[in-house]
Homo-oligomer: A and B are copies of this chain.
């Protein structure tokens, strides 16, 4: 299953609780699109959120975020991962 990193902008001064709330909305509906969000990271100063997921396509990832009310600004299929 491909992996994706998506980027949201404009989340300035969002708190940990607010990020968790938004993330839970994704988790509640993600299975309907075959997607799973693994982790998300927030920089409250720059307002950037990065979400790492697996799913069938970038469109499926986009659809979950749109349905949850926070569309992604970018979705990247990250075919290569290193540790």
Contacts and interface: CB of A to CB of B under 8 A. Distances in A.
A31 interface: no
Interface string A71-82: 000101111111
For chain A, the bracket of interface size reads 20 to 34
Contact of A41 (B5, B41, B43): B5
Given A5-B50, A50-B5, A50-B50, A43 B79 contact: yes
11 contacts: A5-B43, A15-B80, A23-B82, A38-B83, A40-B82, A41-B78, A42-B78, A42-B81, A44-B80, A46-B76, A50-B78
Which 7 interchain pairs have the tightest Cβ spacing? A41-B78, A43-B76, A42-B80, A16-B80, A23-B82, A40-B82, A48-B76
